[in-house]
Amino acid sequence: MADEEEDRRLMALVADGDDDALRLLVHRHHGRLVGYLRSEVGSQATAEELAMEVFIRLHRAAGRWRPDAKLSTYLIHIARNLVLNEWRRRSRKPTSALESAPEPGDSAPESGRRVLELEEAFARAVAQLPEEQRTAILLLVQQEMPYEEIATAMGCPVSSVKTWIHRARCRLKELMSDFYGPET
């Protein structure tokens, strides 16, 4: 709650043209924003570019912003719209979400290599999901957002979010079936 109040205070300052307040806001929120964007677009450079664009748009809207939702949710909402625009521009989906994932080296211990291999496989599988399912599962599992906030960020009912997440889990289990034994 204190975080939200601080966000509101900073947003009011940003609306008055305070660049230091904007710098603070970027410090507070850019990490998770870039993490989410990188998982969506599969590129660190594009994720950083989009994150900057998110904050530029936030700055433009600062005067009109009303704290109906958490600022982090609003940022994800802007980010998702930019991701959709980016895909429309490229007319293709991200080829891989693994650009920055470390390669399993020979010197890594066997257990470490297995973990990395599994993580890479998960990232590939998530990248293959349909857009709504991928966004919903990323926001739930990676960003640990509650269903209501995901619905707000995605501009849809909570029931749709639950459906997408259920389908995403089922699809991921299919895609990862080589790694897991049968369910008991």
Partner 1 sequence: MERRPAEHFDRDLSAALVRGRSVSVPGLADRTVSAVRADRLRRTVIRWGSGLSAAAACLVAVLVLGDPSEESLIVEARSVVAAEESAQFQELLSLADDLALLKPVIERPALVDDLAGGGS
Q: Which residues bind partner 1 (CB under 8 A)?
A: 19, 22-24, 26-27, 30-32, 34-35, 38-39, 44, 47-48, 51-52, 55-56, 59-60, 114, 117-119, 122-123, 126, 137-138, 141-144, 169, 172-173, 176, 178-184
User: What are the tokens at 16?
Assistant: 């008055």
CB of 18 to partner 1, least distance (A): 10
CB of 67 to partner 1, least distance (A): 21
CB-CB contact of 77 with 58 (8 Å)? no
CB of 23 to partner 1, least distance (A): 5
Which residues are CB-neighbours of 92 under 8 A, at least 6 positions away?
Answer: none
* CB nearer to partner 1: pick between 35 and 69: 35
Q: Give the chain's length.
A: 184
Query: For the purposes of burial, counting CB atoms within 10 Å of the CB of 89, is it exposed (0-12), middle (13-18) or buried (19 or more)?
Result: exposed
* CB nearer to partner 1: pick between 31 and 67: 31
* CB nearer to partner 1: pick between 23 and 157: 23
User: b/e map of 98-130 (b: 16 or more CB within 10 Å)?
Assistant: bbeeeebeeeeeeeeeeebeeebebbebbbebe
* CB nearer to partner 1: pick between 107 and 180: 180
CB of 91 to partner 1, least distance (A): 25
CB of 105 to partner 1, least distance (A): 17
* CB nearer to partner 1: pick between 40 and 151: 40
Q: What are phi and psi of 182, to 5 degrees?
A: -65, 150
CB-CB contact of 115 with 102 (8 Å)? no
